[in-house]
Structure 1
């Protein structure tokens, strides 16, 4: 949960008016996310009340942000349910608030489903595949800024905070991922724009009906398989009340993969490297949570996520010799 920048109401109201979204009547910080400052902006327009999401970007700069915002605009134009950025009279979708980059996007209906079932996973899997295909002709390009290069830079920073066993694990996994990235099979993986952070709290539902994906501010060019693996590691594990579990749930994984492959079947290279990408997805989020936990930023609302969760997910993936067999095998799920 984070609000790093206190936005003056009058300044936000002026932006809302410039975007022709009506009159700003309410502005409240959102208790979610740890990278950017987010507010719900309530507006009155033509006698009706509407809500938008106002984001002030804390780490991303004016040079990087057009990629994310134009990607959202592109996907929305292709019929993918994502928030559409609001443009001013000149067509500009990147703005300035409190001296920082900012954007206003449509607010999705519904709520996040933190204990998903088979139908939720089916909906997300199919929509993820459609999103990947819709991004093939997106004109802009930007690497995944939290990809392998970032892992190599960041592991040495967190090592002093780890136990000897954790130190050994993270070093070994980083070496393995560098090895995988040099393989011909990895070079053959299909790639394009990916969300790269499509966790349960970045998807909205009304009941079991998916209403949209949001928070694209970790998006970048990467393998579609990595994006899929990130989802499988979050959507298709046991969701304990205390968030300390990370065991695989075959029923959810089967539903997710079946729905994805009904739209875009996996290639032979993707099937070969799915186990490696499941490990890569766990390493990426274990590492970023370690960074946020031990090197936090000041914020008026901030509670970093437990890094131990993705350490457990990584150990779970390492314990499975064949991820495809794992995904098809039955498993015990607590009642």
Structure 2
């Protein structure tokens, strides 16, 4: 969520005349992330101050965005704690700002927990399963745009920056996933709308009494798409349940997250059989995207590209794993 497109407070005040949110009190850029321009927006109306998030989309188009925004509205309407898009006076939740698509959503309470414990992982697993089930009747369809076809398309763009060993790992893993995605077992896996990017910094927790934390919600749905639920679970475990320096899975955290998920949406024998394949797929997806962002960056204020070697380590560990945590 770097700032690629700058907006002044006067510009946003003029744009917000089409909303019924009151007066602008503050607008400040959010420095983390690398896809969209995001800002915290403070508004005052009738003496009440409320916080929102303004997003200007840098890559996604007006045609693509309704899937994400209406998914958030759908999930919020089903009791899942996610940002709810705010409509303008004409009812539209997506409008142009400085020639680009933009939207305003509610700001969730809390802060990210970057060193999660098993209890916090369990809360994430529980809500992820509830989110998957809540999305079953969501009518709009859009595939995960960062899935196999994108990995295959991106491979020749990033291979000039890799050494021979890295290139071999990339080539072999894409071949493995191509075969897996084409299998009958893969086709039989359950799926639906998925977050596809549920990292620690995309979840908020509220601090409570006695040092306890309550899950505040999931946000940043702009990589979401229809995919296999096991893939979404693997992406989540690959971030929430690992030792960051090494990429090794933490057994207690992984089992806590998986057990909490399973208690809401029971996992199947077929999902168990392909758990390693999906953990590898989740690692490959983010290794490819981080290589792409690192070596082929865009200009942006406050841009902070992630180190691609982190997911290279995770992928190597998942390929070599003899046993993996499960329920």
User: How far is 1:271 from its partner?
Assistant: 1.2
The question of whether the paired residues in 1 share the 8 Å contact of 2:32 and 2:304 is answered with: no
Distance in 2 between the 1:234 and 1:10 partners?
39
Distance in 2 between the 1:117 and 1:233 partners?
14
Query: Which residue of structure 2 aligns with residue 246 of structure 1?
Result: 247
Query: Which residue of structure 2 aligns with residue 278 of structure 1?
Result: 279
User: How far is 1:327 from its partner?
Assistant: 4.1
Q: How does 1:56-75 map to 2 (within 5 A)?
A: 56-75=56-75
Distance in 1 between the 2:92 and 2:297 partners?
33
Q: How does 1:19-168 map to 2 (within 5 A)?
A: 19-168=19-168
In the alignment, which of 226, 232, 256 is matched to residue 227 of structure 1? 232
Distance in 2 between the 1:310 and 1:135 partners?
28
Q: Deviations over 1:200-222 (max 9, x none)?
A: 00000013200100000000010
Query: Which residue of structure 2 aligns with residue 262 of structure 1?
Result: 263
User: How far is 1:10 from its partner?
Assistant: 2.4
Query: Which residue of structure 2 aligns with residue 237 of structure 1?
Result: 242
Query: Which residue of structure 2 aligns with residue 4 of structure 1?
Result: 4
User: How far is 1:292 from its partner?
Assistant: 0.3
Q: Deviations over 1:250-296 (max 9, x none)?
A: 00000000000000011222111111000000000000000000000
The question of whether the paired residues in 1 share the 8 Å contact of 2:58 and 2:100 is answered with: yes
Distance in 2 between the 1:10 and 1:135 partners?
38
Distance in 2 between the 1:60 and 1:227 partners?
21
User: How far is 1:16 from its partner?
Assistant: 2.9
Query: Which residue of structure 1 aligns with residue 200 of structure 2?
Result: 200
Deviates more, 1:314-323 or 1:199-208: 314-323
The question of whether the paired residues in 1 share the 8 Å contact of 2:33 and 2:304 is answered with: no
Distance in 1 between the 2:185 and 2:251 partners?
26
Deviates more, 1:60-69 or 1:84-93: 84-93
SS of residue matched to 1:6: coil
In the alignment, which of 213, 217, 229 is matched to residue 212 of structure 1? 217
Distance in 1 between the 2:30 and 2:16 partners?
18
The question of whether the paired residues in 2 share the 8 Å contact of 1:125 and 1:260 is answered with: yes
* Paired residues, number: 322
SS of residue matched to 1:305: coil
The question of whether the paired residues in 2 share the 8 Å contact of 1:4 and 1:36 is answered with: yes
The question of whether the paired residues in 1 share the 8 Å contact of 2:144 and 2:224 is answered with: yes
Q: Normalization by structure 2: what TM-score? A: 0.96
Unmatched 5+ stretches in structure 1: 329-335
User: How far is 1:42 from its partner?
Assistant: 0.9
SS of residue matched to 2:155: helix
Q: Normalization by structure 1: what TM-score? A: 0.94
Unmatched 5+ stretches in structure 2: 208-212
